[in-house]
A and B are shown apart, each in its own frame.
Chain A
Amino acid sequence: AQSVAQPEDQVNVAEGNPLTVKCTYSVSGNPYLFWYVQYPNRGLQFLLKYITGDNLVKGSYGFEAEFNKSQTSFHLKKPSALVSDSALYFCAVRDKNYGQNFVFGPGTRLSVLP
């Protein structure tokens, strides 16, 4: 069975500092990994995805994520955090053995402090 873990419920970071939101996954086949962000009173917005190829994936709003197969991780990163990055972040995985639906992690709330 597939599963996704986001070990931190809450991440606090000062504006201008680098941020990392952690994600680990478990699938039986090749993972297809996604990050989504939910701003207050908004729907989930797609940030980036890893399908194949380069382990470092660049996405929207200056975010990037690194796929690490040996550690089964897909951590989200940004070199310099903005207050406007404060939101709820979801990691999600798909595995073609289990259809097209996502398995989501529980979410991590990121607070960027001015």
Chain B
Amino acid sequence: EAGVTQFPSHSVIEKGQTVTLRCDPISGHDNLYWYRRVMGKEIKFLLHFVKESKQDESGMPNNRFLAERTGGTYSTLKVQPAELEDSGVYFCASSQKLAGVTDTQYFGPGTRLTVL
């Protein structure tokens, strides 16, 4: 069974440009999460999808970030326009349908974003 995959693995863009990150969860996992680790600090929660619906987006830093999960399969996270402080590693995770607070989340390898 394939794990969580993320694309691209690295992205280098200039301030003001747009970047779109993609996450493919484990097949059959209804729950999809986005996290990011900025400048070697804590990994911070961004948002949580249940199928195509946003369950919790309390961690989204501002309206320059837009996440979608059309059809309830893969998800994209768009940053537009990118700022220097957006640099970091963006992780995606997924968990099974009956997810609750006890469920294990399985993480992808992350996308390292560098904004110059």
Contacts and interface: CB of A to CB of B under 8 A. Distances in A.
A102 B93 CA distance: 11
A101 B48 contact: yes
B42 A101 contact: no
A100 B104 CA distance: 10
Given A100-B99, A101-B48, A43 B108 contact: yes
B43 A90 contact: yes
A46 B91 CA distance: 14
A42 B89 CA distance: 12
Contact of B45 (A41, A44, A102, A107): A102
A99 B56 contact: yes
Interface string B97-111: 001111111111110
> Chain A CB within 10 Å — which of B44, B59, B107 has the most?
B107
Given A43-B91, A43-B107, A101-B59, A51 B42 contact: no
Interface residues of A, number: 26
Interface string A26-57: 00000010101000011111100101000000
Given A99-B48, A100-B56, A101-B33, A46 B104 contact: yes
Nearest to A102: B45
A101 B105 CA distance: 9
Nearest to A104: B43
Contacts of A90: 43
B35 interface: yes
Contacts of A42: 109
A100 B100 contact: yes
Contacts of A107: 40, 42-43
A102 B107 CA distance: 12
Interface in B66-103: 91, 93, 95, 99-103
A95 interface: yes
Interface in B23-64: 31, 33, 35, 40-45, 48, 55-56, 58-59
Please provide the 10 A-B residue pairs with the shortest distance between their CB atoms, ordered closest to farther. Answer: A44-B107, A101-B45, A43-B109, A104-B43, A96-B101, A43-B107, A94-B101, A51-B102, A43-B108, A106-B42
